[in-house]
Amino acid sequence: MKILVVGGGGREHAIIRKLRENPEAAEIYALPGNAGIAEDAKCVNIRATDIDGIVRFAVEHAIDFAVVAPDDPLAMGAVDALHAEGIACFGPDAKAAKIESSKAFAKELMQKYGIPTARFRVFGDAQPALDYVREAECPIVVKADGLALGKGVRICRTNAEAEDAVRAMMLEGAFGASGATVVVEEYLEGPEVSVLAFTDGHVVRPMVSSMDHKRANDGDEGLNTGGMGTIAPNPFYTPEVASRCMKEIFEPTVRAMRAEGRPFKGCLYFGLMITRDGPKVIEYNCRFGDPETQVVLPLLKSDLLDIMRAVEGERLSEVPVEFSDQAACCVMLASGGYPEKYEKGKVIELGRAPQMAEVYHSGTARDAEGRLVTAGGRVLGVCCVRDALREAVGAAYIAAAQVRFEGMHMRTDIGARALAADGMEE
């Protein structure tokens, strides 16, 4: 089978490694891939947002199955365009991807179908938004409606800060068109849990839960990033919470999307907060999370390609989706300065890390001399699976310590909060 994977980060690397476990996955192409993915697939220099280029490539190379992983091409209709050429895909069409590409749409969906989430207001004009946040109870959360690389959310401690956030998004265009509409919502408290779920539009099969660490520095200090590390499973996601989520959130969301004429097929990402009043949705993503995928897929015992094909064929209920009861930890190695300004092109020495862990490449490239160099803010994810979380965390850090590049930055407390919570239960 000829398979195409759209994207070129750590998430795509983890997807490709897992797909390769199926002997039918004879040829895998990554568009555009990266230097690490090049060891597991054939990389082709077509951008993930070049929809015409992707479709042309898929047709010319008689691709049997395409996996579209990042949010941008999904929102732009990559799956619709591939389907129009008769190519089977894993991923939602543009209509269903709206659950991530418009926060206002997602909030209104939850309200209409009684899915628990923070109370909110949507504003399309700056003046009423400013009037509202001037008087609102703080802290309050201001979010740009559209895609903003995970940076379009401001937690505001004071009314002045909230006014500032509205002004930046709606009047100064800090996030371009994504900020033309804003969602202002109630501040929620509690541990966060990420749950990725396979769904074929009818059946929903949650994967093992995980915990992201979004802030740049230890102790959840510093700016929000795409994610500095993950662990799975998430100890705050108890069996009781899981069964509430299934009944109150996962199944109702899949039903709601179908009822709206936007059946969702692919991986639906539930960003949840476990509040005192129960689990609530913080955000939906229409795709696998990064770096959640790097800890979730290594724990998948069932065959990923079979599951993806069953999702496309709307027969997910017929295939097993089983996870190991081990634990995983992924430590992200980032460029110094990320998520703000950082330099690229730093030579990377992996040491013995690839023998000690799964090393998923996020932002890497080869320079003119063929050396492995940094090419992005997040560079590598070092992931270990062990019987217990404590061992997985320890092993991931030992392997991560093997890697060197100038300016390398990592958090040293990935998994610490989860281990503390686990300890309380033991």
Q: Which residues bind ligand GLY (CB under 6 A)?
A: 150, 212, 226-227, 285, 289-290, 292
Q: What type of residue is 185?
A: E
Answer with the entry of ligand GLY, ligand AMP, none that 227 interacts with (C-beta below 5 to 8 A by kind).
Answer: ligand GLY
Choice between 115 and 118, CB closer to ligand AMP: 118
Look at residue 120 and give its three-state secondary structure.
strand
Choice between 105 and 288, CB closer to ligand GLY: 288
Nearest residue to ligand AMP, by Cβ distance, number only: 283
Q: Which residues of 29-40 are buried (b: 16+ CB within 10 A; e: fewer)?
A: bbbbbbbbbeeb
The answer to whether residue 165 forms part of the interface with ligand AMP (CB under 6 A) is: no
Question: 85 is written with which tokens?
Answer: 């050429």
Comparing C-alpha atoms, which of 167, 169, 162 is closest to residue 185?
162
> What are the E-state strand segments in 229-326?
229-232, 266-275, 278-285
Cβ(140)–Cβ(187) below 8 Å:
yes
The answer to whether residue 282 forms part of the interface with ligand AMP (CB under 6 A) is: yes
177-to-62, 105, 171, 182 alpha-carbon distances in Å: 36, 15, 11, 11
Stretch that binds ligand AMP, among 187-195, 309-317, 338-346, 354-362 (CB under 6 A): 187-195
Cα–Cα distance, 291 to 213 (Å, whole number)? 9
Phi then psi dihedrals of residue 118, to 5 deg = -65, 145
Please state the closest distance from residue 386 (CB atom) to ligand GLY, in A.
Answer: 22
Answer with the entry of ligand AMP, ligand GLY, none that 292 interacts with (C-beta below 5 to 8 A by kind).
Answer: ligand GLY
Block residue for tokens 């001399």: 369
Choice between 178 and 362, CB closer to ligand AMP: 178
Choice between 140 and 389, CB closer to ligand AMP: 140
Phi then psi dihedrals of residue 83, to 5 deg = -60, -40
Please state the closest distance from residue 261 (CB atom) to ligand GLY, in A.
Answer: 26
Please state the closest distance from residue 194 (CB atom) to ligand GLY, in A.
Answer: 7
Please state the closest distance from residue 191 (CB atom) to ligand AMP, in A.
Answer: 10
Choice between 134 and 157, CB closer to ligand AMP: 157
Q: Which of 64, 161, 192, 314 binds ligand AMP (CB under 6 A)?
A: 192
What is the Cα 224 distance to its own chain's centre?
A: 14
Please state the closest distance from residue 289 (CB atom) to ligand GLY, in A.
Answer: 3
Cα–Cα distance, 212 to 296 (Å, whole number)? 11
Please state the closest distance from residue 159 (CB atom) to ligand AMP, in A.
Answer: 16
Q: Using omega within 30 degrees of 0 as the cis cutoff, is the peptide bond preceding 263 cis?
A: no
Per 3-state DSSP, the chain is made up of helix, strand and coil in percentages (nearest 5) of 35, 25, 40
Please state the closest distance from residue 216 (CB atom) to ligand GLY, in A.
Answer: 13
Q: How many residues are there in the chain?
A: 426
The answer to whether residue 228 forms part of the interface with ligand AMP (CB under 6 A) is: no
Cα–Cα distance, 207 to 321 (Å, whole number)? 8
Comparing C-alpha atoms, which of 198, 149, 193 is closest to residue 314?
198
Choice between 309 and 417, CB closer to ligand GLY: 417
Answer with the entry of ligand AMP, ligand GLY, none that 400 interacts with (C-beta below 5 to 8 A by kind).
Answer: none
The answer to whether residue 162 forms part of the interface with ligand AMP (CB under 6 A) is: no
Q: How far apart are the first and last CA of the chain?
A: 47
Stretch that binds ligand AMP, among 56-64, 183-191, 331-339, 368-376 (CB under 6 A): 183-191
Please state the closest distance from residue 342 (CB atom) to ligand AMP, in A.
Answer: 21
Question: 6 is written with which tokens?
Answer: 């759209």
Choice between 188 and 204, CB closer to ligand AMP: 188
Answer with the entry of ligand AMP, ligand GLY, none that 314 interacts with (C-beta below 5 to 8 A by kind).
Answer: none
Answer with the entry of ligand GLY, ligand AMP, none that 118 interacts with (C-beta below 5 to 8 A by kind).
Answer: ligand AMP
Binding site for ligand AMP (CB under 6 A): 118, 141, 143, 150, 153, 155, 185-188, 192, 214, 271, 282-283
